[in-house]
Each structure stands twice: as structure tokens, then as C-alpha cells.
Chain A
């Protein structure tokens, strides 16, 4: 029917499957995120370090290049290398989260759009899946995916047997990145759900990381303990990733404590989301 025919009519056409509806939210969130040129530029910058690493690995196996420096290898691609890579990309991922995450839920909450989502055959879980899928996909593109690409490049250039003896690193890369992405997603969605203003939610996310770190240092200094790191999200991640790569964590915090602290934080974020992401808040008397 042409748009100029102004009369009401029902719809009797095709209906999309229920499982695919969360992808709609993801698609619109993507479109909104990349409407910002700043974000697009930043996202491109996030690939500079992985490309540089790929070139470095290639050169590390290029005999003509090594001969110029009279060296047999420039650096070793091992657990330390991937830990450093994930550390750098993790920092970039955090900034990307701070740019995208705060606007994901707050924009819907600011103008009471949630009832419009949930009056449709669309659940709260699907809504959160759709919103977090944006972050999961973008953060994956700059963390574990390039890390695994580097792993594959190294495996293809290294001596036979390298892959078999270092396969555990691929597992550590995937698991470490997955935890980092999960933490970033849940934290930013929870803050976005509780703070209706995008800027304030972004500031709160930075505050949670940096103020948390400052408090942790203060607690450690005053009480002469290392348990202050339990509220320092950055150091918790470093501890967990070091544990995954078989390294001694620089924080000195037992890895089990760091795992438990991250689990508690993620659970708390889920609780916050459960409380806030609903069509209408119920005031019980």
C-alpha cells in the first residue's frame, strides 16, 4: 500500500522468529554508536597495535630482516607477549566501553522507552542480550580475535611443535578476554541502567575503575594488606589474566580471591540490572 493511502489496516504478512528479535536491538545500537565520528576514529585506532604486533611477528621470522641486525630473533612470542597484548588491548577496550556503554540503556530509561520494548513479545533478557551484544562484538574485535590471529600467524611461522606446546595460550587468551568483556559489559550496562544521563554514567564507569584503584591503594597502605585490590577492578583483571598465563600476579593477591571478587561483582551487576530493567518500577508498600 502506498504511503499516501491514509487508512488503518491490519498486518497479515510474515513474522520473524522470536529468537532473532534481540538482533534488532543490537543492529539499532550499532547504528547509533557508529553515528559518532569520534567513536569510529577511535575504533580504527584500536587496530594499530594488533597490526604492529602482526608485522613484528612476521619480521621476527624474516631471516633477511634479522640478518640486518645480526640477531636470530628479536623477541619471543610466549605467554608474556600475549599478556602484554591483552593488557594494552584491554585498556583500549575499556575506553571503547566508556564511549559506547553508558548510552546503551540510559537512552531508553531517560524517556521511559522500556514499556514500549516489553509490551511486545520481547523479554528483558533479550533486551539485555541485544544491548550487550554490541559491546561483546566490538570488544571481541579488538581483544581475543586479533590475539588469536596473532597466535595463528606465530603458529604458521614458528618451528614445528610450537603450536602443540603453546596451545594453552589460545585457551588463556579466550578465557581472559571473555572474562574482561563480561565484566565490562555487565558493569557498563548496570551503570547505564541506574544513571539516566549518558555523561554521568560514563563518568561513573571511570570512577568505578579509577576511584576503586585509589581506594584500594589507600586500604593497602593503611591496613598493611593486599586485600584492598579486591575493589580494584583493573588489578583484579591483571591478577586473573596473570593466573591464566601462569604468571605470578604483580598485585600479590591470591588468584582465587580475584576470581571470587570478579564473580561477586558480576553477580551484583546482574542484580542491579534485574532491579532496573523492567517496564515499570513497582513501589511496594
Chain B
């Protein structure tokens, strides 16, 4: 599949502050997750891809178009749902969605038809003639989604789409994202700090921390690799125990005093761990055995040195 987004040494600075630095990767999945804690630079990356901020270093390509020189071409292919409230209070949902579709280039009548369709699709069909200022938070989120898809974009950028939603509304949003993904009509870039949202919808993930890229992987491949983890809380000589565990073929990391995490091979048996603990006079106070998950990947990325890959 041709790349959807290519980051080529991308950096963004605001005055003396470095917001993004040295981003380098190629993202090509149908749904791409952009993860990171608050302040990691996710929204800045999106705004830079949209041409709102100018890169201070490097460049990026969206669907083959360079963000430095082909902003209009990129914007004509994109649908964007911003994180914060974005609407025009005095307009009805259908007028608002229609106007946004027209601004994306649809003729007036086609825009009206698509606005109705989009609002029905997101579940606002019955409320489409209500003014947006009367909408609840969840409805406003759906209206933002409707305006982002009404013109049939090739890439849909969703910035924290489940923000402020109650569990049923969140489930509905996730279902819509999955449905759009499965329609094979568009790519989705989902920016979130919620691991579950990304895990439930995305096939590829880019993790940012403090403006740096700390992890990039294909979640499908990670799932297929299906690595197993063991989390331990011990009492005793942790270092020699860690060395002994590594001799069993495990990748081991002492995360804090008395706590360690290890990636274990297929041949690994838990009883070997207890045997080693007994030999080293180490008490195992807690043991957590789990399969690979996005949470593991994320936590590992956050622990990486200086936040850099």
C-alpha cells in the first residue's frame, strides 16, 4: 500500500521552543494511531500536516503531496475533526455541514445531499435541523465528524474524537470509525491519548513523547508476534535475579526498585522462574503474566531513554 503520510526529518519550532524534532517514518495503514501523553506534540503534528504550522526542519508528504508546497492539494483530500469545540452556534447542523462541504468543493445541491447523508450516518438525522448551540457535547462531537466526512475525504484526521464522551457515545464513535475503516474508502489518522481507542481501531501506531518519535510499529504485526510479558515484584537481590532470568532467554528490564518486566520466549515456563527465585533466595511477591498489548508498547516507549527512540 502506498504511504499515506511520510515524515522526513520533520521538525517544528515556535520561537525558541522545539515542539517536534526529527520525525522520520512512513505510515501506510488504513487506520493509523497517533499516540502520546498530553503535550507530546500530536496536535502540532496534525496541524503541521494540515499546513497550519510551517515546519522548521525537514518536510512531510500526505498522500504524496508535500506539506511545504502543496497545501491546497492536501487540504482538498483531507477531512479534519479538531479536538476542541469547533462549530458555528447560530447555524443548524445541516446548514453547517453543507457549508463545510461546499467549501471543500462540492456543488451546492450535492453538498446538501451529502450533509443529510453524513448527519444520518453519524446518528444526528433526527436533530439535523436544530441549531448547533442547542447540542450536547456528544452531539457536537458527532456534528464535527459529519462535517469532516461530508465531502468524502481520502484521509480523515480525528483529533481526540472520544474526548468528553460518555461510554455509550464513545462506543458509538469507535463503531463509526471501524465502519469507515472497513468501507475501504478512506484512510484514518486517529490522534488520541487513550490507548483503548487506538487499540480498538488502528492497524499502525506512531507514538510521540516530548516532540520526539519513540515508537512506530504495525499493530497487526505486533499482535501476530504475540509476545508474552511477565511483570514481577520481588524482594531480594534483583540484579543477580535479573541476570539469571536473562539466561533463560528473556529480555529483562528493572523498572523500579523491586519491580521488573520481561519479554519471555515461547519455550518459557513459569516454574523456571520460581526455581531461579528459590536458588537466588528471592521472594516473588507478585507475578503478572500477560500477552503483548498496546499498553505494553506504550509504556515501554515512555520509559525509553530521554524520550527518544
B-binding residues in A (CB < 8 A)? 1, 3-16, 18, 21, 24-25, 28, 32, 107-108, 110-113, 115-122, 278-280, 282-285
Contacts and interface: CB of A to CB of B under 8 A. Distances in A.
B76 A121 contact: yes
Contacts of A120: 75-76, 100, 103-104
A285 B86 contact: no
Contacts, number: 127
B85 A111 contact: yes
A10 B82 contact: no
A128 B226 CA distance: 54
Interface residues of B, number: 51
Interface of A, helix, strand, loop or mixed by DSSP: loop
B189 to A, nearest CB: 13
Contacts of A28: 91, 95, 99
Residue among B90, B117, B152, B183 with most chain A CB within 10 A: B117
B14 A14 contact: no
B80 A116 contact: yes
A24 B99 CA distance: 7
B106 A112 contact: no
Contact of A119 (B15, B50, B95): B50
A134 B88 CA distance: 18
A6 B125 CA distance: 10
Interface string B104-143: 1111001001101100110001000000100000000000
Nearest to A123: B72
Given A7-B183, A113-B86, A119-B52, 5 more contacts: A4-B120, A12-B152, A21-B105, A28-B91, A110-B89
Contact of B88 (A14, A18, A21, A113): A113
Contact of B72 (A13, A18, A113): A18
Contacts of A285: 14-17
A8 B132 CA distance: 23
Contacts of B84: 112
A229 to B, nearest CB: 39
Contacts of A12: 152
Interface in B67-91: 72-73, 75-76, 78, 80, 82, 84-91
B52 A278 contact: yes
B104 A6 contact: no
A106 to B, nearest CB: 11
Contacts of A5: 117
Contacts of A1: 113, 117
